[in-house]
Structure 1
Amino acid sequence: MSTGTALATDPHVVSCTLAPRFEAVRTAREFTRDTLNGWGLGELFDDVALVASELVTNALRHALGQSEPSRVPAQSMPQLSAETLPIRISLVHRAPQVVCAVSDPSSNGPVAREADFVAESGRGLHLVDSFSRSWGWHPLAGAGKVVWALFDARAAEPPAESPLPVNLGRHRRSA
């Protein structure tokens, strides 16, 4: 459901424009999986995809003001014009880091709420904080913002070979 994936001249900086519908969350996850696999960083998928899902969902709910975009008929969807910024997910790989960034048309920054573990929503930014090394947001010139999360790609790289065996005869005991 994306409106197109653009590969920049730098293969380590890629973006995907997303349609303003909840299917965009699935598209963002697929884009994230394909991109990380292409970079040889598939081990990061679970964490990056969870954060991407949360950031895109927040953009749909708060920036576009659609509590249930999947129930809006396609013919009544707002048309994106030159003045309207779409939702866009970007992934940047600069070893040893990966950045997941989601831009949207709202200039209002994200606000983490007090976690209510009984509520169906409201924990997204807590998840972003838990699964990324750091996160933040910046206003864009004119209008809109970008919310980003930073991941350590070193954890996904294979360890250097050690001349000594590791964990020889040892095991971890689970509680």
Structure 2
Amino acid sequence: MLEPLRQGLPPLDPAAASSAASCALPARLEAVREARHFTRNTLVQWDVGDRFDDVCLVVSELVTNALRHALPTPALLANEPEPPVRLHLMRWTARLVCAVRDPSHQGPVAGGSEDFSAESGRGLFLVDSFADSWGWHPLAGTLSGKAVWALFRLPAPSSSPYTE
């Protein structure tokens, strides 16, 4: 799932992630709040507070886009055995990736609105502004749909100020 993250960056080995967490999200707009809550709790556990606001904003936008633009009709959703949207958080020493998986095969499309005071159409602009990089790719194998991801660089862990 992380192959596109390798473009222009040092290699990211999914198996080398120091921490990972994911949650399934129901097909309703309240899932955005659930995703923020899950992200907040996970980042607190991982002690990654420096990028907290940026990450939560981007997670909100990615989940909102998945719910609004990537889900099949409600009748088709009723036949799905599990929730159609899933949030993944993965942390390496100096990087954090959030990825939202959804059942659509179509890539995200920017709203194209130049009116930044508009109520909608700014989601991907915000993702681009707050994440260090982002992208999407189709899923393969037994997974169907796509993943839209955002990468955040984390500050290097500081060494202890105490010397012995």
Q: TM-score range by the shorter chain?
A: 0.7 to 0.9
TM-score normalised by structure 1 residue count: 0.72
Mapped contact 1:36–1:44 kept (Cα < 8 A)? no
> For residues 159 and 62 of structure 1, what CA distance do their matches in structure 2 show?
44
- 1:25-174 matches, within 5 Å, as 25-64=32-71, 78-79=77-78, 81-82=80-81, 86-114=84-112, 115-141=114-140, 143-154=144-155, 157-158=157-158
| Identity among equivalent pairs (%) | 56
> For residues 15 and 138 of structure 1, what CA distance do their matches in structure 2 show?
18
> For residues 26 and 111 of structure 2, what CA distance do their matches in structure 1 show?
27
TM-score normalised by structure 2 residue count: 0.77
Mapped contact 1:51–1:128 kept (Cα < 8 A)? yes
Mapped contact 1:95–1:153 kept (Cα < 8 A)? yes
Structure ranking higher on relative contact order (CA contacts 8 Å, 6+ apart): 2
RMSD: 2.5
Mapped contact 1:33–1:42 kept (Cα < 8 A)? no
Code of the aligned partner of 1:35: T
Identify unmatched segments of 5+ residues in structure 2. 1-16
Code of the aligned partner of 2:85: I
Secondary structure of 2:50's aligned partner = helix
Query: Could you list the runs of 4 or more consecutive aligned residues of structure 1 that deviate by over 6 angstroms after TM superposition?
Result: none
Mapped contact 2:86–2:102 kept (Cα < 8 A)? yes
User: Which one has a bigger Cα radius of gyration?
Assistant: 1
Identify unmatched segments of 5+ residues in structure 1. 1-9, 67-71, 162-175
> For residues 127 and 77 of structure 1, what CA distance do their matches in structure 2 show?
30
Code of the aligned partner of 1:58: N
Aligned residues: 142
Secondary structure of 1:57's aligned partner = helix
Code of the aligned partner of 1:149: A
Mapped contact 1:107–1:144 kept (Cα < 8 A)? yes
Change (3 A) 1:50 1:56: same
